[in-house]
């Protein structure tokens, strides 16, 4: 079951990387200083770095049989999910939001299907991590 979690985590990470590339290509880093994007760099990079850290902890659990790493991955993935939820709520459209002159915020270029797929895979990953870590007691 641990390798199913790994597969789910890698799929989630791939979709997240796709969204990150779109954000970068549409000037996400440049826009943060101009106040156009609603996704602060600390939130995006924290999400990415913590997700990679959790994935590494899960790999340690799988390949080095370190039980403590499963619990570390469990804790980290919950923080990653909360950062993801913050980004989702900042991304959701509302009247007048993201309207900074003629420039369109980088996150407005995200395909809705990619955001939904990333979120669904992330939710499945969180549930699987918690379930498998809980079984390892």
Report pLDDT digits (tens) over 28-77: 878 766 667 788 889 999 999 999 999 999 999 999 989 899 999 999 99
Virtual CA dihedral for 81, 85, 91, 92, nearest 10 degrees?
A: 140
What is the number of domains present in the chain?
1
Tens digit of each residue's pLDDT (9 = 90 or more) over 106-128 = 888 899 999 999 999 999 999 99
Between strands 99-100 and 103-104, the pairing is antiparallel
Is 94 buried (19+), middle (13-18) or exposed (0-12) by CB count in 10 A?
exposed
- Helix, strand, coil % in the chain, rounded to nearest 5: 80, 5, 20
The C-alpha atoms of residue 56 and residue 73 are separated, in whole angstroms, by 8
Residue 68 sits in which domain range?
2-135
**pTM for the whole structure:** 0.86
Cα gap 37→86, rounded to integer Å = 14
Three-class secondary structure of residue 114 per DSSP = helix
The tokens describing 62, both together, are 């799988």
Distance in angstroms (rounded) separating the CA atoms of residues 85 and 106: 18
End-to-end CA distance of the chain: 15
């Amino acid at each position: 079951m641990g390798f199913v979690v790994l597969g789910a985590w890698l799929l989630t990470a791939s979709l997240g990387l796709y969204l990150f590339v779109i954000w970068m290509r549409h000037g996400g880093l440049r826009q943060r200083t101009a106040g156009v994007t609603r996704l602060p760099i600390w939130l995006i990079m924290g999400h990415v770095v913590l997700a990679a850290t959790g994935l590494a902890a899960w790999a340690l659990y799988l390949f080095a049989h370190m039980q403590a790493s499963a619990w570390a991955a469990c804790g980290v993935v919950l923080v990653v999910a909360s950062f993801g939820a913050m980004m989702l709520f900042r991304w959701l459209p509302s009247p007048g939001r993201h309207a900074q002159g003629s420039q369109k915020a980088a996150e407005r270029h995200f395909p809705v299907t990619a955001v939904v797929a990333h979120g669904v895979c992330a939710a499945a990953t969180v549930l699987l991590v918690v379930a498998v870590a809980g079984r390892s007691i």
